[in-house]
Structure 1
Amino acid sequence: LFNNAGISDRMSSITEITAEGWSWIFDILVRGPALGMKHAAPLMLERGGGSIINTASIAGLQAGFGPIAYSTAKAGVIHMSRVAAAQLSPQKIRVNAICPGLIATSIFGASIGLPLEVADQMAARVAENASKAQPVPKAGLPDDIAQAALYLASDAAAFVSGTHLVVDGGITVGGRHAWDTTSVSPFATILGDMIPGQS
C-alpha cells in the first residue's frame, strides 16, 4: 500500500489558519493514510504480510519547509508510521515513510489555488531551479520518489520497518554554508575577524 495522496494549504501561519483549514489538512494527510492502513492490514494479514508506505515530507522533520498545518501533519505521518510498524511488523507487515524534499510537481501551485496549467508551469520552474537550493545538483523528480517507494515495497527492504527515508537531494544536511563554499557561515558572520582566515 502506498498512501500517497496529498495536498497543502496556503502558507498560513498559526495566527491565520482556521479550524476548518486545520481539519481539512489533517483529514487528508493523516486520517487518510490511517484509514488506508486500517483497511489494507487485514488483507495483508490474510496473504501473510506486506509493505505499507506513507508519504511524509521533510517539512515534518524541520521548520521552514512548509506551512504549519502541513508540516505538523507530515510530522504526524512519520510518527504514525513508526507506531504502526511497531504494531504490524510482528505480523510481517512493514510500515515506513518517505520524506520528499523539493520535488518538481504541481502541488506548489495547486495548493495556493492556481489553475492546473499555471501549477504545471510552477513545477517546470521548480525543475529548472531546484538544483541551486540543495547539495545534489539536479532537480528532484517524481521518479525519485517512485524509486524509493519501489525499494520499500520490495523484498530488498525486507529488514526495513518503522523508519523514514529522506529523498531530498541533501537539502536537510545543514545550512547552505555546509555545502556551498560561497556561502558564509553564521559563525563567521557573528565572529567576523576573530576567526583566523576571515576578514
Structure 2
Amino acid sequence: MSMTFSGQVVVITGAGAGIGRATALAFAAEGLSVIVADVDVPRAEQTVEFIRAAGGNAHCVPCDVTRELDVKHLMEQVLLIYGRLDYAFNNAGIEIEQGRLADGTQDEFDAIMGVNVKGVWLCMKYQLPLLMAQGGGAIVNTASVAGLGAAPKMSIYSASKHAVIGLTKSAAIEYAKKHIRVNAVCPAVIDTDMFRRAYESDPKKAEFAAAIHPVGRIGTVEEVASAVLYLCSDGAAFTTGHALAVDGGAMAI
C-alpha cells in the first residue's frame, strides 16, 4: 500500500487541537505543506509552530466555517500561498448537546448544524473547483459513529453527522469521474480535550466510555489521523463514498 505524498498541499479545518492538529502533524511528517485553519487562531498558530519546529511547512489561516466569506478567503489563501490544493480534511465540528430531543433549543440546533453541516458543505463547495483544476484529489470529512446509528441525548449532533455522511456520499458520486474521491471518518470516543471536559471529572463516565468499545479503551487522535492519511493516499485509490468507522469495534456489536 502506498502512503507516499510528494510536494502536495492539504487544508485542514479545526486544526488547532485534537484530531485536526494530530492530522496536520501527520501530513506534515509525510512531507505535505499544510494550511492550518481554525476559528481559534492562537491554537492554530501553535499547530503551525509544532509543524515548523519539526521541519515541516505550514501556514495558519483564520476561518469560521459557518461564514461563506471566511471559507472563500481560506481557499483563496491556499492558492495564494501554495498555488494548488490536493487534499482537504474538513474536520471542524462542535458537540454541545446533552439532553433529550424535546429539551433541545433552537440555538443548539442552529449552532450544531451551522458548524457540522453547513461548514462541511461550504468547504467542499469551494474545495471541489480547486481540486478539479488540479486534475483530482481527495476530501475527507469528519463524521462520527453517531452518524452511523442512534445517539440518545445527542439527537441533533447525531443528525448533523448523518448529514455529513450524506454530503460525503453524494459528492463522491457527483465527482467520481473528475478523479476526486470523497470519504468520511467516523470516530467513536477519542481522547481529546472535548472528551476530557465531558468525562474526566466523572471517573465512572470515563470507565463507561472505555467499556463501550470492544477493544476496552477509547481511541487516540493519532489513530484517527492515520485513517485520514490512508483515505487520502494512493492506497485508497479505489475507495470513495465510504464512511470509515474508527471505533474499536463499537459498531460491530
Contact 1:105 1:142 in 2 (8 A): yes
Aligned match for 2:223, one of 144, 151, 164 = 144
1:81 to 2:168 alignment: yes
Aligned match for 2:244, one of 165, 168, 171 = 165
Q: Which runs of 5+ in 2 are unaligned?
A: 1-87
Within 5 Å, give how 1:8-157 maps onto structure 2: 8-64=95-151, 67-108=154-195, 119=197, 122=200, 130-157=209-236
Larger mean Cα displacement after TM superposition, 163-172 or 65-74: 65-74
| Aligned positions, number | 165
Contact 1:130 1:140 in 2 (8 A): no
- C-alpha displacement of 1:131: 3.9
Distance 1:95 1:137 in 2: 31
Q: Which runs of 5+ in 1 are unaligned?
A: 110-118, 175-199
Contact 1:106 1:122 in 2 (8 A): no
TM-score (norm: length of structure 2): 0.60
> What is the CA RMSD across the aligned residues, in angstroms?
2.2
- C-alpha displacement of 1:45: 0.8
TM-score (norm: length of structure 1): 0.76
* Cα distance change, pair 13–137 in 1 and its aligned pair in 2 (3 A): closer
Kindly provide the amino acid, as one letter, of the partner of residue 36 in structure 1.
C
* Cα distance change, pair 173–120 in 1 and its aligned pair in 2 (3 A): closer
Larger mean Cα displacement after TM superposition, 12-21 or 142-151: 12-21
Percent identity at matched positions?
A: 40
Distance 1:137 1:46 in 2: 45
- C-alpha displacement of 1:120: 8.7
Per-residue CA deviations over 1:145-191 (Å, capped at 9, x if unaligned) read 000000001111111001100000011212xxxxxxxxxxxxxxxxx
* Cα distance change, pair 94–154 in 1 and its aligned pair in 2 (3 A): same
Instruction: Classify the secondary structure of the residue corresponding to 1:2.
Output: strand
Instruction: Classify the secondary structure of the residue corresponding to 2:139.
Output: strand
